[in-house]
Every structure is written in C-alpha cells, then in structure tokens.
C-alpha cells in the first residue's frame, strides 16, 4: 500500500517537472522550404550543377544560406517562402561575385502560392504548408540590368509544398 502511494508520488513529480520543458524536435516536419532541382536544357533527364548561384529574397541584401553557404554549387537548393504573404520574389544570380562580370547573370523569379497553417504540436505550434498557384505558379523576368535570362525553362513538379523530401520546381538551363 505504502509502496503504491510512493510510486504514484514519484510518477507525479516526474510529470510535474515536464511542464514547459518540451522543445520542438528538429526531426519534426515543420514549415517546409521550396526544393528546386537544376537540369540540363540540352539533356533534360540529367541534373546539372549551378556554379556560385546566389538567391536573394526581395527586400534582403544577404543571400539565402544553404548548407552553410550563400553560394550554391550543386544541382538542388531549398529556399524558404514568406509565411505572411502569398507571393515571394527572388533574384537568382549565377556566378555571383565573379570578377568576370560577363559571366554574372541575374534572373527574377516570383512565386505565387496559397498558404495553410497546420497544427503540429504543443512544442512546435503550427506550420505553414504552401500550394503553388495552379494558373500562374511563377513569373520569370530578367533583372533590371538586361543580360538575357539564364533560366531557359521552368516546370512545376509538385505544386503541394508540405515536405522537403521531394522536388517542387525544376529549372532547366
């Protein structure tokens, strides 16, 4: 009998100590980023790596950090979308900071989407899931300094953005 009371006491104390301690686990799927894969326009089934690509969001001066660097050298990149607006514009600058200014090329990409806030947990709160606009998912323009678009073709692979495990947008260049 006494043992039961002691046990209940012990468990109760254990639980009472847990309040407010819970932290959102890093493995939890929260607000996803948009995953872009780069393909070769001449060989559309082959991934193609970009060189020193910098992506700068509208109203920002710093590029998006991906894998601890603002310069992307690889065939995929994940970029965060604004969670308080239904459109986000980005500047995609190839060969950023290259001394040969002829190689530097800037394109503007505006993404249109709808948002839905989904409950995750007490510790994480909510997350935002995006769905790319079915009619005009993106608007592709050249930068203010006309230097011909380096992006040749854009295709929407998955319009629903609810995780980062799949490619949402394919860019051919």
Closer of 57 and 74 to other proteins (Cβ): 57
DSSP per residue, 11-25 = HHHHHHTTTTT----
In the complex, minimum distance from the CB of residue 5 to other proteins, in angstroms, rounded to a whole number = 5
State the CB neighbour count (10 A cutoff) for residue 102: 8
Q: Which residues pair with 38 in a beta bridge?
A: 171
Answer for which of 40, 47, 126, 131 binds other proteins (CB under 8 A) is 126
Answer for which of 42, 51, 80, 139 binds other proteins (CB under 8 A) is 80
- Residue 65, classed as helix, strand or coil, is coil
In the complex, minimum distance from the CB of residue 116 to other proteins, in angstroms, rounded to a whole number = 9
Are 45 and 70 in contact by the 8 Å Cβ rule? The answer is no
Using the contact rule CB under 8 A, the part of the chain among 45-53, 112-120, 139-147, 151-159 near other proteins is 112-120
Q: Which of residues 3-62 bind other proteins (CB under 8 A)?
A: 4-5, 8-9, 11-13, 15-20, 24, 26, 30-31, 33, 57, 60
Answer for which of 45, 61, 68, 84 binds other proteins (CB under 8 A) is 84
Closer of 23 and 135 to other proteins (Cβ): 23
Helix (H) or strand (E) holding 155: strand 153-156
Paired sense of beta strands 105-121 and 138-142, if any: antiparallel
**Does residue number 67 form part of the binding site for other proteins (CB under 8 A)?**
no
Using the contact rule CB under 8 A, the part of the chain among 39-47, 93-101, 119-127, 148-156 near other proteins is 119-127
Q: How far is residue 160 from each of residues 28, 48, 167, measured CA to CA in Å?
A: 18, 24, 10
Say how far apart CA 109 and CA 34 lie, in whole Å. 13
Say how far apart CA 110 and CA 3 lie, in whole Å. 66
Please report, as ranges, the residues that interact with other proteins according to CB under 8 A. 1, 4-5, 8-9, 11-13, 15-20, 24, 26, 30-31, 33, 57, 60, 64-65, 79-80, 82-84, 88, 117-128
């Amino acid at each position: 009998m006494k043992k039961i009371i002691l046990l209940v006491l012990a468990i109760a104390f254990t639980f009472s100590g847990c309040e407010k301690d819970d932290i959102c686990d890093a493995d939890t799927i929260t607000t996803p980023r948009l995953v872009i894969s780069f393909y070769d326009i001449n060989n559309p089934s082959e991934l193609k790596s970009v060189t020193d690509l910098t992506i700068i969001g509208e109203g920002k001066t710093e590029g998006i950090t991906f894998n601890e660097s603002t310069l992307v050298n690889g065939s995929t990149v994940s970029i965060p979308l604004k969670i308080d607006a239904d459109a986000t514009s980005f500047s995609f600058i190839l060969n950023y900071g290259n001394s040969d200014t002829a190689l530097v090329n800037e394109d503007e990409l505006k993404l249109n989407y709808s948002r839905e806030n989904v409950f995750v947990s007490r510790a994480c709160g909510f997350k935002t899931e995006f769905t790319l606009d079915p009619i005009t998912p993106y608007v592709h323009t050249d930068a203010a300094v006309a230097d011909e678009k380096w992006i040749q073709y854009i295709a929407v692979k998955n319009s629903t953005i609810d995780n980062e495990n799949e490619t949402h947008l394919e860019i051919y260049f």
